Amino acid sequence: MAPLARRVLAAARALTTPLLPEDFVSVWRPLRSKRAPGARVVDVRHETGDATTLLLRPGAPLPAHRPGQFVGLGVQVDGVWTWRSYSITSRPGDPLLAVTVTAVPGGLVSTRLAHGTRPGTLVRISEPAGDFTLPAATPEKLLFVTAGSGITPVMGMLRTLAATQPAVLEGAVHVHSDRTAADVVFGPELRAVAARTGLRLVERHTATAGRLDPDSLTDLVPDWAAREAWACGPTEMLDDLTDHWARAGDPAALHVERFRPPTWDDATGTGGRVTFAASGVSADAAEGQPLMAAGEAAGALLPAGCRMGICHTCVGPLRSGAVRDLITGDTHDTAGEAVRTCVSAPLGDVTIDL
């Protein structure tokens, strides 16, 4: 930012506190707010009864994603911005960013996005994040194992490989498990990619063949241990595969993507008053309650993305006090240290520069 623009922004901040200029921008031009970037839903594509692809045009360019990564989408539920992470299913460079949302039973956000989104809807969006990606040099022998909505990050990979390195798919195997053929998200496209590239697509329909487990995977893909594998699906399947690779294969050759909120064992002793200095909001956090959750409950508009400690969108510098990172268990008590507010709980009174 030019020095003059910086001075004008600083003056505007002083005049508009406790709201920041970015907050006014988010009202006037919601898609371009830096604090809470937005995207417009340009089109909606119903894939199956439960799965819907949203084609998004971000208000400001996002960093290029790598196939397999996700973005956080924020929607307002009862006046509170609520976020979930969804895999990007479009290719890098596509004119619109596609995410595919599967409505899960009882899932307020996923159901609203999958069944209640119309073209023109505005959502908030975080930058692409996640390590469930292919390496720069694509391995020669690939294996994808997916089930249900776990197809979504892999679909982003397959679309990209089919367009840029179709020869790599010729020797690749994709085992996908779903209830029936009609339930397979992107089913017709997957079958077309397989027919066009030589990808060996193995569909396992659980309504008739039962759940995919390591034994059946071994039967279906006898050379599984010689392949570099990417797996996404229900926790039980991923746990089974992780054990299997640890027991009989190379654990480093298995990459898994899990979408679930973080859990933490030891939040004992946490809790306190958190002050968000830039927002001018203070809140009392209960034991185990992250800074972000406490601040939002008190009305603070905070930067947020995955809410799982992955994307670092929520990071703010610690001004005073101490926090415990609930995932790593580490204590941060040095002024200026970067704190992930979504997974950090206060240890007494804390001030964060957000």
Among 54, 113, 306, 322, binds ligand FES (CB under 6 A): 306
Residue 291: which of 305, 311, 270 has the closest Cα? 270
Nearer to ligand FES, 221 or 343 (CB): 343
* Site membership for ligand FES, residue 307 (CB under 6 A): yes
Strands 323-325 and 344-346: antiparallel
Taking contact as CB under 6 A, which single stretch among the options 87-95, 173-181, 213-221, 302-310 is the one that binds ligand FES?
302-310
Contact (CB, 8 A) for 86 and 125:
no
Nearer to ligand FES, 66 or 340 (CB): 340
* Residue window 258-297: x/- pattern of binding to ligand FES, with contact defined by CB under 6 A: ----------------------------------------
Q: How far is the CB of 126 from ligand FES (least distance, A)?
A: 7
Residue 234: which of 110, 131, 151 has the closest Cα? 151
Q: How far is the CB of 353 from ligand FES (least distance, A)?
A: 16
Contact (CB, 8 A) for 157 and 134:
yes
Q: What residues does 338 pair with on adjacent strands?
A: 317
The Cα 238–Cα 256 span in angstroms is 7
* Site membership for ligand FES, residue 311 (CB under 6 A): yes
Nearer to ligand FES, 126 or 160 (CB): 126
* Site membership for ligand FES, residue 173 (CB under 6 A): no
Q: Which two tokens stand for residue 119?
A: 């073209």
Contact (CB, 8 A) for 67 and 156:
yes
Nearer to ligand FES, 197 or 270 (CB): 270
Among 283, 310, 345, 352, binds ligand FES (CB under 6 A): 310
Residue 101 to residues 62, 155, 188: CA-CA distances in angstroms? 20, 13, 18
Q: How far is the CB of 330 from ligand FES (least distance, A)?
A: 15
Strands 122-125 and 38-46: antiparallel
Contact (CB, 8 A) for 143 and 224:
yes
Residue 22 phi, psi dihedral angles, 5° rounding: -60, -30
Number of residues engaging ligand FES in binding (CB under 6 A): 12
Among 67, 68, 272, 305, binds ligand FES (CB under 6 A): 305
Binding residues for ligand FES (CB under 6 A): 304-307, 309-314, 340, 342
